Amino acid sequence: MDVGEWIHENLKKQRMKLNCHLTTSLIDMYSKCGNLEKALDVFHSVERRDVFVWSSMIAGLSMHGCGRAVIDLFYRMNEAKVKPNAVTFTNVLCACSHSGLVEEGRMFFNQMEPVYGVVPGVKHYACMVNILGRTALLKEAVEFIEKMPITPSASVWGALIVVCKIHKNVELAEQACSQLLELEPKNDGALLLLSNIYTKTGKWDNVS
């Protein structure tokens, strides 16, 4: 962050006006370096905010676990008449996942296409599996995957394995791992996750 701050100070000294690209980059840098306050300062310091600036600030709040603040900012974005895009929704759904906001996550996902004209992609489906699974709604997560209008990707099955690990559901983790390995036979991460689940449940033969 020292280098990032030095660049930011030089921009100020040169009285360089922040365009949307610079604003987005600064918000992203401060958020990822752990200084959410400075990211918010940058966000509030500019008058012009495009969808990428708003999405970057939403992502910053999301990675710091500020789910309610993300939802508030999303509605403020709507009030500013800035149309959200696919990246915006990925960040909003991630925030709902991190903060356990199941109903809110469902609502945003269901509104994507009919209200905002954004067709859900694989990342959005994976986020929803995460949202449902983290709150122990594993059966609903599986039904959600089965009803997907697109073929579930490795990231979707990977999300299911992760939540199976949280809730120590071995049987479902095995099924998800099998599906994932069909798509990506060399995915060592899937085997590692399954091995960790076996370890947590004391199935040492399976670990071997």
Q: What's the per-residue H, E or C state across 53-106?
A: HHHHHHHHHHHCCCHHHHHHHHHHHHHCCCCCCHHHHHHHHHHHHHHCCHHHHH
Contact 201, 171 (CB under 8 A): no
pLDDT in tens, 41-75: 999 999 999 999 999 999 999 999 999 999 999 99
Res 186 pLDDT > 90: no
- Closest CA relative to residue 134, chosen from 170, 174, 94, 171: 94
The Cβ of residue 9 has, within 10 Å, a number of other Cβ atoms equal to 10
Domains located in the chain, CATH noted: 1-120 (1.25.40.10), 123-208 (1.25.40)
Would you state the pLDDT for residue 166?
86
The whole-chain average pLDDT of the chain stands at 93
Is 69 in contact with 61 (CB distance < 8 Å)?
yes
Mean of pLDDT values over 192-196:
88
Residue 193 has pLDDT above 90, yes or no: no
What does the pLDDT average to over 9-30?
95
| pLDDT tens digits, one per residue of 71-128 | 999 999 999 999 999 999 999 999 999 999 999 999 999 999 999 999 999 999 999 9
Task: Check residue 124 and give its pLDDT.
Answer: 97
Q: Is the pLDDT of residue 11 over 90?
A: yes
62 to 16, 30, 103, 145, 171: CA distances (angstroms):
29, 13, 17, 24, 31
Condensed to tens digits (0 to 9), the pLDDT of residues 121-170 reads: 999 999 999 999 988 889 999 999 999 999 999 999 999 999 988 888 88
The pLDDT assigned to 91 comes to 97
Structure tokens at 190: 């899937």
